[in-house]
Amino acid sequence: MKQKILVVLFTVSLLAIVPAVYLLSQEPDPAIVSKVEEIKAKLIAAENPDGRSDAAALVREIDGSADSVVEVLRSASRGAPTKVKAYFARERFLLGDRTAAIGDLVDVVATETAAGAPADTVKMESAVMLARVCAGFRDVLRAPLRRMIVDRPINDVELKIVLCLALWKSSQDTAAIDELKKYLDSSNSRYANLSAMMLAEIGYLDNDKVRDILSRLKNEPTDRGALAQQLLKRDRQELRIFVENYQASGRDPDELDVNTSVLDVVMREIGLKYVHEDLTARARLERESAIYMARALDPYSEFLDAAIKSEIEASANKEGWLGVSVGIKGARYLLLQVTPGSPADLAGLRPLDLINKISTVPDRDFPNLSLRQVGAALHGIVGEQITLTIFRVEWMRSREITLTFVRQEQPEAKSSELPGGLLLFAPGSISKENADALKSKIETETRGVILDLRHVIAGDVEGVVAFADLFIGKEIRVASSFGRNDEVCPDEKFDTKDDAAFAGKVVCLIDADTANAAEMLAAAISENGRGKAVGIRTFGLSIIQREFPMNSEAGSSLRLTIGSYFTPKGTEIFDNGVAPDFEQAPRIWRDGIYELVDEIRKKNLHREYYASLGEENQPKLLEVLKQEGVGSLDPANYPGFDEWLRGTGILPESFYREDVSDELAQSILKDRWCVLLLVRKLLRHELLGALWYDLADDLILARGIVIILGELGETVDGFAEYRHYPRALETYKMTRNFIMETRHH
């Protein structure tokens, strides 16, 4: 049982998602009190940890404000059995009542246990919770934890070992280290193993006893063995970088005119004076210095040793795919690309969503991963699941999103003729082959080309020039590059080679996941006055990189940015991106709506809705889903949708109350319509998978069509498919402003 709890300590996220609901009353609802008492009775009756966890999870289903639920849980905890107090404290922590909940968990752990009595599962799970969430609670935790560990030690040794981790993580108290070291030599192997795992988590991997125990445990075919392997990877190899590199190049390291006095002094002072000697091994400090030295240059430069490179390569060879690429901004990992129709897209993920956690990566390791390691972690085995903890600027809290790996589809060029003589073309990647494919699609009656560069990060400069040749005149600057010197990366200028093949109007659709060659192409078309860029600012990742081997035997390497690309007007694209000529944000949702739709997706409730229509109405719905005009968004064309939605029980009954203000009624109605739009998206993907664009509800595409028709001297009024665009764009603009202002306040 302790082994299972230990794995939970490192791998299970405790930041549960609590659905947002409408606040119709500031006072606790009697229904909440009744529900909590019912849950309390179930907790008392439960005889095993799973039963108690199931009962506590029911708290998250209570329809009421967080403050109201917290107050009732507090009241119900007073004088209650220990297991009720513990589980309610955990739920209160998740609801925001953190300091008081921490205090209750400490009280639970401190409850006297008779010597020789069996381990108390509730107390152990409470200790695990403390170790997971203790950061930032030094003032609350240091005194009581020291009392239980040092002053008046508790009887349960395994419980005390877990509390040592909580003491160290909350206050860096060296008493925790000293106490854990005592048990490394214990004749009780359970105590020795557990203390070694705790010390490794703290960072004591240079301790020989810790490494010996982990080396033995790593061969176990258990979760504990897997965890031991992960902990050992933190200190894999000694660092041999700069001298080896110069020796490999035939140069004498003594000839280097490098002042390393500052680094030498820092390492010497750390080695002589730092409190924990086990952490000061020079090989360890040199390795970490090399890693962070490279990262200090830019997020994409990195030092990789052989073990990490092998790990990355092994993950990259897995066929499981989520449809995302990863970038970094301001030391935060985020989604750079979300492929339409991929698992990530259908789950509602978007470019620029921040990744706070990955379920397959220990929490402690995640902030220290390189960008390529994070990307590798997002590959897996087809059919397996992974949970990402995601945060978005429009949300009020992080959310856990569970995705299933599918087999990756190679990006390919797609095109479609649209009403009004328009050609929509999504290249997939910026290559000469795809430029030739676009040229073959352009016909004499084509009046305008909409180049969809969203979700495009692959390509090269040759492809940029080939696409530019279709639209820009001969010998016109497309891009330029700058390098440190001619030996490593010479400066280059890239100009068009042929006369323009198409004289009609051009619009480029761009988004936050437009990067590399795609954003170079958007800048070339926009800055040369050949077309308009519509959407939001691109990612800003047009750089030249090269990998330099450090030692052929060790297999380590240094990946450096050696050059950067510039727009025709001389603006560096890296970290700046390309700004649109006409800004249009994609649709965003109020955060509570996202939770509702995520539940629909996980439980496949949208399929139940389709099945409920019966054989008579199912063909009619298919025709509605195929429509490219406003009819596809009309709730009247989705028979029985409101009744079905209410019957699922995923919406609080407050969504259907009639005794509310007109303003709230309109808000509720709009939210139900938003759920319909996202259910529509899921059904379109499953029933009409070949449709790769959405004329009815793609706001960036809608804005692009409005602009290109304006360039052609026309309006959307003459086209049934486009007629709803102006109203939709204006309505969404007001809604988005309201959401962003609400988040700001």
What is the distance in angstroms between the CA of the first residue and the CA of the last residue of the chain?
46
Tokens linked to 553:
């035997």
Structure token pair of residue 57: 């999870």
Helices (H), 218-251: 223-232, 242-248
User: Could you tell me the strand order of the sheet in which 414-418 lies?
Assistant: 414-418, 422-426, 448-452, 505-510, 532-535, 582-583
pTM tops 0.75:
no
d(C-alpha 469, C-alpha 433), whole Å: 13
Query: What is the four-CA torsion angle of 361, 364, 370, 372, rounded to 10 degrees?
Result: 0
Highest mean pLDDT among 478-487, 704-713, 722-731: 704-713
- Do residues 60 and 19 lie in contact, with contact meaning Cβ atoms separated by under 8 Å? yes
- The 10 Å Cβ neighbour count of residue 96 is 12
d(CA 152, CA 148): 5
Rounded Cα distance, 627 and 632, in Å: 5
Sign of CA dihedral 270, 276, 277, 283: negative
Name 743's Cβ contacts closer than 8 Å, sequence gap at least 6. 393, 394, 395, 396
Report residue 742 as tokens. Answer: 């609400």
Q: Which amino acid is at 136?
A: G
Contacts of 651 (CB under 8 A, 6+ apart): 596, 645, 672
| DSSP track, 108-174 | HHHS---TTPPP-HHHHHHHHHHHHH-TT-HHHHHHHHHIIIIIS--S-HHHHHHHHHHHHHHH--H
User: What pLDDT score does 528 carry?
Assistant: 95
> What is the tens place of the pLDDT at every residue in 552-574?
446 788 889 999 999 999 999 99
pLDDT level of residue 690 (50, 70, 90 thresholds): low
CB atoms within 10 A of CB 114: 7
Confidence of residue 713 (pLDDT cuts 50, 70, 90): very high
Cα–Cα distance, 234 to 202 (Å, whole number): 11
Q: pLDDT tens-digit profile of 350-359?
A: 888 899 999 9
Q: Looking at per-residue confidence, does 299 or 518 come out higher?
A: 518
Handedness of CA 518, 521, 526, 530 (dihedral sign): negative
C-alpha span between 432 and 424 (Å, rounded): 18
DSSP 235: G
Average confidence score pLDDT of the chain: 80
d(Cα 50, Cα 87) in Å, to the nearest integer? 12
Query: What is the C-alpha to C-alpha distance for residues 472 and 733, in angstroms, rounded to an integer?
Result: 33
Q: What is the pLDDT of residue 26?
A: 46
Partners of 414 in beta bridges = 426
Q: What is the mean pLDDT of residues 60-88?
A: 77
Please indicate whether residue 593 or residue 511 has the higher confidence score (pLDDT).
511
| Angle of helix 30-45 versus helix 66-77 axis, rounded to 10 | 50
Tokens representing 589 are 């949702």
Write the DSSP string, 597-625: HHHHHHHTHHHHHHHHTHHHHHHHHHHHH
Contacts of 333 (CB under 8 A, 6+ apart): 326, 327, 354, 355, 369, 371, 374
Residue 400 is given by DSSP the state E
**What are the tens digits of pLDDT across the range 422-467?**
999 999 899 999 999 999 999 888 999 999 999 898 899 999 999 9
Contact assessment for residue 478 and residue 495, using Cβ atoms and an 8 Å cutoff: yes
Neighbours of 256 (CB within 10 A): 12
Q: What is the pLDDT of residue 463?
A: 95
| Residue 513 near residue 334 (C-beta atoms within 8 A) | no
Alpha-helical (H) ranges within 281-431 are: 282-295, 306-316, 343-346, 371-377
SS percent in the chain: helix, strand, coil, step 5: 50, 15, 35
DSSP 8-state class, residue 60:
G
Statement: residue 389 has pLDDT above 70:
yes
Q: Residue 306 corresponds to which tokens in the numbers above?
A: 């052989």
